[in-house]
Amino acid sequence: MEDHNHPFLYFPFLLLHQLLRNLKRYFLSILFTLPSSFFALLLLFLLTYNAFSVFSIHIPHSPKKPLFLPPPSHTKPKLSSSVFLALKEDNSPTINKTHFTLLHKLPIHKSKRVKKHKRGLTGFHIETHSSLFHTKINTFFNGNSSFSSSCSCKFRFFMTWISPLKAFGERELLSVESLFKSHPKACLVIVSKSMDSEKGTEILTPFVKNGFRVIAIAPDFNYIFKNTLAESWFNRLKEGNVNPGEVSLGQNLSNLLRLSLLYKFGGIYIDADVMILKSFSNFRNTIGAQNIDVKTNKWNRLNNAVLIFDKNHPLLFKFIEEFALTFDGNKWGHNGPYLISRVVSRVSGREGFNNFSVVPPSAFYPVDWRGIRSLFIGPRDEVHSKWLVKKMKQIHEESFAVHLWNRQSRKLKVVKGSIVDSIISSCCIFCNMT
């Protein structure tokens, strides 16, 4: 049977085909009317996209980890405000994610870490024989040394010097002069590798020739720290198991060294930027307050630039223990003045810790580091001149020493007529010698 509707079945398809052909012609006619610059811009975009897709690397998310492992501890860690502060500081810098894969591919092995620490410790004269240090210091204290007269020492003073020899300059020598001006029968041991040298001996010779007893001895940390918690801490440091941190390791070793020297020998420790004005003969087991609360008249911070203690004093033992157990090499002052403040605040009033005293700031720190500049300035006008006279009178009456805060004042010049100028004139030994 013939299908009479056959032409009508294909008619819609023919219309659709014709429509598509017309659209194609219309689109091509539009493209041909566009300028060639458009095609060049389109090509440049496609090439740029292709370059990014080829050279980009997808880095999976990696959780942030501390760059250093915490040192081993015998106590359960506590989450204190200082911990949260450290975390905040660690998270603050923006670090490119591509750096993480490189860190994972280059791990720091323990052996390399140990070598790194030992290289950093070579400047502190570790590998010495304990008998040498022990013999030299005891011979000196007993008056049987070429650096001292035949009589024993009335006062035992200690300084530490961790810097190069060339840095031991006029200010440090003035500190030594002030010590002997107020304590002519004292003995001074400068514990220092750089000063225990031919040139160091030459620097100290004028004092020895004038009958003053002073000697420089390179430290033997193994002997000085022996039988204290400082010994185990120092061994872990040498093994690479203590993170020395960003603060100068020499500075932190000096903090521990002064405590250990006083614990082993007893005596008086002073920083090399302390000018002594009067005799310390009336002080025993004494620490100086740096600041006090004006409302309560109680100290709120102590300092360790001047320490006076008997041998084997229990508070010194606590200081050394605190250093070994809470060492943090990334916080300035944490192992020094702040350590002293923490421990004294903790043990005050406890049985066995009543035989020490805290003297007011005027004794050793008549100005703190924020005001030290005022002592170097000469009189500007009549009002300022009266202030200088009043301040100098106060220091003369109330202070036994003045800490010059070298960190803040090292570059300051001593102006004629200033308080420091007056202190130098009254404390120097060789300034009036011809």
Give the tens place of pLDDT for each residue, 122-154: 555 454 445 689 889 989 998 765 554 556 789
* Mean pLDDT of the region 71-84: 34
Residue count (the chain): 434
pLDDT band at 14 (very low <50, low <70, confident <90, very high): low
* 18: Cβ contacts below 8 Å, ≥ 6 apart: none
Beta carbons of 264 and 258 less than 8 angstroms apart: no
pLDDT band at 114 (very low <50, low <70, confident <90, very high): very low
* 244: Cβ contacts below 8 Å, ≥ 6 apart: 117, 120, 237, 252, 329
Beta carbons of 274 and 420 less than 8 angstroms apart: no
Which token pair is 262? 């006083």
Residue 349: the pLDDT is: 87
Beta carbons of 301 and 292 less than 8 angstroms apart: no
The predicted-structure confidence for 374-398, as pLDDT tens digits, reads as follows: 999 999 999 999 999 999 999 999 9
Whether pTM > 0.75 for this model: the answer is: no
Residue 4 to residue 341: CA distance in whole angstroms: 112
Q: Which position has the higher pLDDT, 431 or 94?
A: 431
Q: How many CA atoms lie within 13 A of 405 on its CB side?
A: 19
- Given a cut of 50, whether residue 99 has pLDDT beyond it is no
- Given a cut of 80, whether residue 41 has pLDDT beyond it is no
Residue 430 phi, psi dihedral angles, 5° rounding: -95, -5
Residue 16: the pLDDT is: 73
* Mean pLDDT of the region 8-23: 66
* Mean pLDDT of the region 176-196: 96
Phi-psi category of residue 245: left, alpha or beta, with phi > 0 → left and psi -120 to 50 → alpha: left
The predicted-structure confidence for 17-33, as pLDDT tens digits, reads as follows: 677 777 767 766 666 66
- Given a cut of 70, whether residue 286 has pLDDT beyond it is yes
Residue 54: the pLDDT is: 38
* Mean pLDDT of the region 348-366: 93
Q: What's the mean per-residue pLDDT of the chain?
A: 79
Which token pair is 217? 């001895």
Q: Give the chain's domains with CATH numbers.
A: 130-427 (3.90.550)
Residue 415: the pLDDT is: 92
Residue 260 to residue 352: CA distance in whole angstroms: 20
Residue 58: the pLDDT is: 38
E strands of 224-377, at which residues?
A: 267-270, 274-276, 286-292, 299-309, 357-359
Residue 108: the pLDDT is: 41
Residue 431: the pLDDT is: 83
Q: Residue 379's closest CA among 370, 369, 367, 387?
A: 387
* Mean pLDDT of the region 102-114: 41
Residue 179 to residue 401: CA distance in whole angstroms: 10
* Mean pLDDT of the region 268-292: 97
Residue 328 to residue 44: CA distance in whole angstroms: 56
C-alpha to C-alpha distances, 421 to 64, 171, 278, 305, 413, nearest whole angstrom:
54, 12, 17, 21, 10
Residue 82: the pLDDT is: 32
Q: Residue 303's closest CA among 261, 264, 258, 267?
A: 258
* 3-state SS, residue 359: strand
With a pLDDT cut of 70, the percent of the chain lying above it is: 69
